[in-house]
Amino acid sequence: MSQEELVFEESQQGIKIVFWGPTLAGKTTALSLFHAIKKKEDPESVYNFLKLEDKATERTIGFDQATFGLGTGSKGFKYHLFTTPGQDRFKSMRKIVINGLHGMIVVIDSEKARWEENKVSLKELFDILGDKLYSREVKMAIMLNKMDLPVDTRISAADVGRLMIEAGVSDKLRDTFASTFEVSCLEALNALKEAWSRGEWNPKNRPQPVQRIIQPIQMVIRDILVSELQKPSQ
Ligand SMILES: Nc1nc2c(ncn2[C@@H]2O[C@H](COP(=O)(O)OP(=O)(O)O)[C@@H](O)[C@H]2O)c(=O)[nH]1
Ligand SMILES: [Mg+2]
């Protein structure tokens, strides 16, 4: 099956959410974390997880894709999470991956040195999908990753508005910039490992860094479901 057919087929049922961002921003790590948590808490809700990377270099060679069920033992509703490959040469694949999406997690690399890469990535996103993001047909959350970096080498949520404006994004989405989720996949991974090695895990009281990764994803899922429910039935 070609990648195009796979992406198309997987998104036929349920909802589709895509992680977008420059290469090495942490998209694959965030999706892997989400997958690990679901597998721990509710293994029946995990359908599949496909990570396309070169094992030797750990570099992405395509997109990642994972499918989950909403609620346990549910017959029907599935949600599909995809990541886009960030490298220049994957521009056409990115367009294929975002085809038919309902929601978007925009991953920004908080490292100051990555400001330009973040800008280029945002510009491309809004060139392709700006109308649907402004009209909120596609739901969106912003994940500002790598907040574990030393303060003087990284930006914070307060800088995201400026980054967006520099990338040519209209401030129509000002409230979305303002609700940027500051996360650290690295801290989440450490917290997860530590809790699991102690044999302690309570889904109702997850470690803070882990909860921060889950929140934007849950928010986008909720926003999509609310708007799907409000649509007149066809
Ligand atoms: N310091 C730090 N590094 C991270 C964090 N999240 C991911 N990384 C690292 O950044 C690199 C790229 O991550 P990856 O998930 O493959 O990025 P992708 O290209 O966006 O899929 C890897 O070496 C990760 O270990 C984080 O929160 N903090
Ligand atoms: Mg990746």
pLDDT of residue 52 exceeding 80: no
- pLDDT confidence of residue 60: 61
Ligand 1 atom closest to Cα of 25?
20
Which of 54-58, 87-91, 214-218 is most confident?
214-218
> Counting atoms of ligand 1 from 1, which one is nearest the CA of 29?
15
Q: Please determine, looking at this structure, whether the domain spanning 3-230 carries the CATH number 3.40.640.10.
A: no
User: 64 CB contacts (<8 Å, ≥6 apart)?
Assistant: 27, 28, 31, 32, 49, 50, 51, 52, 53, 82, 83
**205 pLDDT exceeds 70?**
yes
Q: What is the mean pLDDT of the chain?
A: 89
CB 15 within 8 A of CB 79: yes
If one residue of 53, 186, 193 were mutated to test the ligand 1 pocket, choosing by the most ligand atoms within 8 A of its CB, it would be 186
Query: Which residue ranges make up each domain of the chain?
Result: 3-230
Q: What is the pLDDT of residue 36?
A: 96
| Chain CA centroid to CA 172, Å | 21
Query: Distance (Å, rounded) from C-alpha 67 to C-alpha 78?
Result: 7
Protein residue whose Cα sits closest to atom 14 of ligand 1: 26
